[in-house]
Amino acid sequence: MSSEATSSKKPCGCCWPIFSSSIGRKWVVALTGIILVLFVIGHLLGNLSIFAGPDAMNAYAAFLKSAGELLWVVRIGLIICVVLHIWFTITLWRENLAARPQKYAVKDHLSTTVYARLMRISGLTVLAFVIYHLAQFTWEAFNPDYKGWVDAQGRHDVYRMVVTAFQCPFVSGFYILAVGLLGMHLSHGIASLFQTLGITSKKMRPLFEQGGLVVAWLIFLGFASIPASVLLGLVKTTPVLPACPLCH
């Protein structure tokens, strides 16, 4: 590939060469994507402790909080990943738009799936969901009572907080919708990041595409199973609080 093909006409003004070539930017999008997917899988596995009961979930949440400064290092790392992932996706998208007249007449299969076409909207919806989610469970902005909920061991009662919130069908419905969009985003994202990193040969590509789909929809099923189980009464908190569409 010629150097003209791999670098944008307008350098981003940044001093790091990796940021001023489109291949470099694609790598940043792919690597930050991998880190975010690993976070999502770790978060899902931690949240599935809800099925083991209040003690398991509250112990897991207390363990995370006990990480102290390390937790902040992880949080700051994740914020940097989100910013870089979005920023370079936007710059690559703008470059693609600018190069549109020279586009190949035949697009590859991966870039024409419905998930690929919905990448920007699904990504932005997931971002909006994460901000809502942080306001609900991390900043506890919607229900100030959450802050005072502690279990018999004096730990923050995260189990009760989550189950109470998901007793509201609107909250649960929104979560299921949001993690559905996350599944769509990852369906395309996981397969295409392997392509960007050059790990897929033409022969291997279908394997990575199918693998990406399976991982993405397992992530969806795992997250969606939590609000769905609360709505179905399979996961409960005592005393059961009345579901309220507005306050949880």
Residue numbers of the site for ligand HEM (CB under 6 A)?
40, 43, 47, 61, 75, 126, 130, 133-134, 137-138, 158, 162, 175, 179, 182, 223, 226-227
Return the number of the residue (78 or 110) whose C-beta is nearest ligand HEM: 78
Environment class of 53 (CB within 10 Å of its CB; exposed 0-12, middle 13-18, buried 19+): exposed
Query: Which residues, 6+ apart, have CB-to-CB distance to 50 below 8 Å?
Result: 56, 57, 159, 162, 163, 226, 229, 235
Q: How far is the CB of 148 from ligand HEM (least distance, A)?
A: 14
| Least Cβ distance, residue 210 to ligand HEM (angstroms) | 22
Nearer to ligand HEM, 27 or 174 (CB): 174
Structure tokens at 169: 């069908």
- Kindly state the smallest distance separating residue 142's Cβ from ligand HEM, in Å: 13
Read off φ and ψ for residue 7, nearest 5 degrees. -125, 145
Q: What phi, psi does 21 have (nearest 5°)?
A: -115, 145
CB 223 within 8 A of CB 182: yes
Smallest gap from Cβ 231 to ligand HEM, in A, equals 12
Nearer to ligand HEM, 75 or 107 (CB): 75
> What letters, b where the CB count within 10 A reaches 16 and e where it falls short, cover 214-226?
ebbbebbebbbbb
Burial level of 155, CB count in 10 A (0-12/13-18/19+)? Answer: buried
- In whole angstroms, the minimum distance from the beta carbon of 61 to ligand HEM comes to 4
The tokens describing 123, both together, are 């990504």
Q: How far is the CB of 178 from ligand HEM (least distance, A)?
A: 7
Query: Which residue, 41 or 92, is less far from ligand HEM as judged by CB?
Result: 41
Complex with ligand HEM: residue 2 or 66, whichever CB lies closer: 66
> 133 or 205: whose CB is closer to ligand HEM?
133
- If the CB atoms of residues 12 and 180 are measured against ligand HEM, the closer one turns out to be 180
3-state class (DSSP) for residue 150: strand
Alpha carbons 18 and 41: distance in angstroms, whole number: 28
Alpha helices by DSSP H, 48-168: 54-65, 69-98, 114-117, 119-133, 158-166
Q: How far is the CB of 181 from ligand HEM (least distance, A)?
A: 10
